[in-house]
Structure 1
Amino acid sequence: MTSIFGNIDDLYLFCSVVEEGSLQAAARQLKLPVSTMSRRLSALESRLNIKLLEKQGRELVATQTGQDAFVALQSGMEAIEIGMQQLVSNQSEVTGKIKMALPHNFYRGFVGEVIAEFLQQYPKVTLDLVLSQEQVLPQTDRDLLMTFDIDGLEDMVARPLFEAQHGFYTSPEYLARHGDKINQLQTLASLDWVSVDHMTEIPVYEGEQLIEIMEIHPKLVVNDIMAVLSAAEKGLGVASLPVRYVTPEMNLVSVLPQYHRNGRQAYLVYKPRRYQPKALTLLIETLLDKVKPLRGE
């Protein structure tokens, strides 16, 4: 039997077992007897002639076929959950859970305040935030990624957020140690660098014109822009920093201010879906609206 009719409830039980990590945990979550869960899952495997789960110690875990099935079914099951929530709740009520991954500095810079306001406005929405420089790719229609790097994400929706303008900065102490030597790009490139990534070729502009591709050799690489900023303040070297993060009270001075790095475009990334969850759509539009000042709008 391969029709979805008669199978969807049991497929939901199967997905719950994989999500919760055990048959017992899924039974508690769904408030069903373990024996009922076990019987229905065995019957599902028999009807489909597929081994979805297997014993591992005292637990049931997904087979490779089961894991593949879970990946294929998960998004659809979430869509059914969302649809059911909308059916049984007030149409104007916004509910649901969103998983969002973004760099630490984005959260500290402006997203934290936006999230706090959003959750106060929509108290039945829950957010699972992952703060990291590592990209956590959207897996379901309730995942949202904030990133500068969209290479390899051609099958995703990438909404432009803002463009970060970068200048070159170091501490007055580091600058004093080099006197008047930092007067051209070749000298700048040869200095100690503190970088947020392992990129060694930086496009350098004067106004709108590309002057050259400057090759640098970082002394310190740390995947957090605020840590890079702090290291530059302590005199460890030169850093390419977002201009909006540098304030007058910081122990930083601009180096060759007539030049700047190419602007880095930030994006909101999520899976393309015909029907996006309402909570996700509202969060995306809220974030886009709140960054308008950063875009000069």
Structure 2
Amino acid sequence: MDSIFGYIDDVYLFCKVVEHGSVLKTANLLGVPQSTVSRRISSLEERLGLRLLEKKGRELAATEIGKLVFDQLSSGIEQLEIGLGNVTEQTEQVAGTVRLSAPHSFYHSFVAPVVEGYLKQYTKVHIDLALNHDQLKPQTNRELLITFDISEMDALIARPLFTARHGFFASAEYLAKCSQITHIEQLQELDWLAIDNSQKLAIYRDDALEQSMTIKPRLVVNDIQALLDAVERGLGVASLPLRHVRGNSNLVHLLPEHYRSDRQAFLVYKDRKYQPKAVKSLIDAILSSADTMDAAVNPTSN
């Protein structure tokens, strides 16, 4: 090999496939066609006259000689990444489009001031805002998600924002049709309304798990305000964030010493070393306000 010209990209792709164990996962993370990754690695193997990868179950793994190549070259690739990242960090403008997905009520309660302040500071950034409870999993390095559910997001970064405590609430109109609620077991017999299809409910008291029960919601609505309205109209009982019902005289707090497991809110994004400055700056702005969000959700915890 007289020159490294033409090898750098192929070696980079090879190292990434070894790290991720999959051509498909590597292609998705880098935003290039799967066929391109396969073709470039095959080209590298042909030029070196070596077999670098082999199938092991559903994943790809380095052959013995492939491990040697990876050990020799991966640190150099990492240094190149770090160097390029430093150059990008110093020269890139805070500009471009960022997509942010968040629950409607959460955005208006906590995130709106952060986003509005951010837009005033960075005038060349455009934010594409989606307000819903759908799990719009980030697919590119310009997408952010605020969510309470990070299941099936193992490949992404999930930064904690705050925890929200929930209690059990129903309207006086609904409770007038029921027996007096004095024991936790009676909750299972009520008409449940929920924000998702989860049927397992862990119930705590004094930070200790007291009981787990299975519920079958009669109504599932993926918006906390719509759920609150349904409870107020006497359709049944629901687990609701204490902040959303504080001061609401239309609702009765059932067995207030009991509560469901606290819900943790997360800011989710892709693990990218070359994260655009516009995205990094918005992430920093949201995370820097996490303590304020937590204080607003749990004002009695301070």
TM-score by length of 1: 0.68
- Cα distance in 2 between the residues matched to 1:249 and 1:211: 27
Report how far residue 224 of structure 1 moved. 0.9
Work out the CA distance in 1 between the residues paired with 2:249 and 2:280: 38
Aligned to 1:176: 176
**C-alpha distance in 1, partners of 2:247/2:175?**
17
The one-letter code sitting in structure 2 at the alignment partner of 1:148 is F
Q: Secondary structure at the match of 1:177?
A: coil
- Is the 1:200–1:217 Cα contact (8 Å) retained in structure 2? yes
Change (3 A) 1:123 1:4: farther
SS in 1 for 2:176: helix
Given that residues 158 and 267 in structure 1 are in contact (C-alpha distance below 8 angstroms), is that contact kept between their aligned partners in structure 2? yes
Q: Which residue of 1 aligns with 2:276?
A: 277
2:145 corresponds to which residue? 145
For residues 120 and 178 of structure 1, the distance between their equivalents in structure 2, rounded to whole angstroms, comes to 53
Q: Secondary structure at the match of 1:279?
A: helix
TM-score by length of 2: 0.67
Equivalent in the alignment of 1:72:
32
RMSD: 2.8
Q: Which secondary structure does the structure 2 equivalent of 1:116 belong to? A: helix
Kindly provide the CA deviation profile for residues 146-186 of structure 1, in whole angstroms up to 9, marking residues without a partner as x: 11111121111110111111100111211222252x11112
- 2:69 aligned residue: none
Match of 2:130 in 1: 130
1:227 alignment partner, SS class: helix
CA contact (8 A) 1:136 1:145 kept: yes
CA distance in 2, matches of 1:4, 1:118: 41
Shift of 1:106: 1.6
For 2:260, the aligned partner's letter is R
Q: Please give the alpha-carbon distance, in whole angstroms, between the structure 1 residues aligned to 2:231 and 2:142.
A: 38
Q: Which residue of 2 aligns with 1:208?
A: 207
For 2:289 and 2:249, locate their aligned partners in 1 and report how far apart those are by CA, in whole Å. Answer: 26
Residue 94 of structure 1 corresponds to 94
Give the Cα–Cα distance (whole angstroms) in 1 for the partners of residues 123 and 7 of structure 2: 35
Q: Which runs of 5+ in 1 are unaligned?
A: 6-66, 74-82
| Matches for 1:1-297 after TM superposition, within 5 Å | 3=6, 71-72=31-32, 93-180=93-180, 182-296=181-295
Contact 2:157 2:268 in 1 (8 A): yes
Shift of 1:262: 0.2
Residues 1:230 and 1:4: Cα distance change in structure 2 (over 3 Å): farther
Equivalent-residue separation in structure 1 for 2:178 and 2:222 (angstroms): 27
How far off its partner does 1:71 sit? 4.1
Q: Distance in 2 between matches of 1:212 and 1:203?
A: 6
Q: Determine if contact 1:233/1:250 at 8 Å carries over to the other structure.
A: no
Q: Give the aligned residue type for 1:244.
A: R
